[in-house]
Amino acid sequence: MYELRAGIHFDQLTKRRADLLSTLQHIHRERAEVESNTDWLDQAAYESRVALLDRLDSWYEAEVSQIDRALERIRQHGYGVCLACHHPIEPKRLETAPEAEYCRSCQSTREALRAA
């Protein structure tokens, strides 16, 4: 069962990773275009656009990194195990978030600590 689930999630993660890399290429092209355009009438609009592209770039890079860690856990046969409590991550959680590193309980605890 583990191999089947890990295989399905490996395929999902690999596809999502490829999609993200394509999106990142688009963002990088857009950033280069924004920076090469000297016709900006409003400096604030330029800065806002650059800031947006930077945030998107950071967000997608973080997701690629999370996917890479999940793919490595699959290769190491540690996929689906919570990094905090070492119990299995709920199958439904992995279905919706195959890159998940923590079970629901541990993830909730981490989020509560971050919010405090």
CA–centroid distance for 14 within its chain: 12
pLDDT by residue (tens digit) across 27-44? 999 999 988 887 777 888
Query: For residue 3, what pLDDT is reported?
Result: 62
pLDDT by residue (tens digit) across 100-116? 999 999 999 999 999 99
Q: Are 88 and 81 in contact (CB under 8 A)?
A: yes
Residue spans per domain, the chain: 1-78, 80-116
Query: For residue 1, what pLDDT is reported?
Result: 45
| Calpha distance 27→29 (Å, rounded) | 5
Length of the chain measured in residues: 116
pLDDT by residue (tens digit) across 61-90? 999 999 999 999 999 999 999 999 999 999
Indicate the pTM of the whole model: 0.84
Query: For residue 41, what pLDDT is reported?
Result: 73
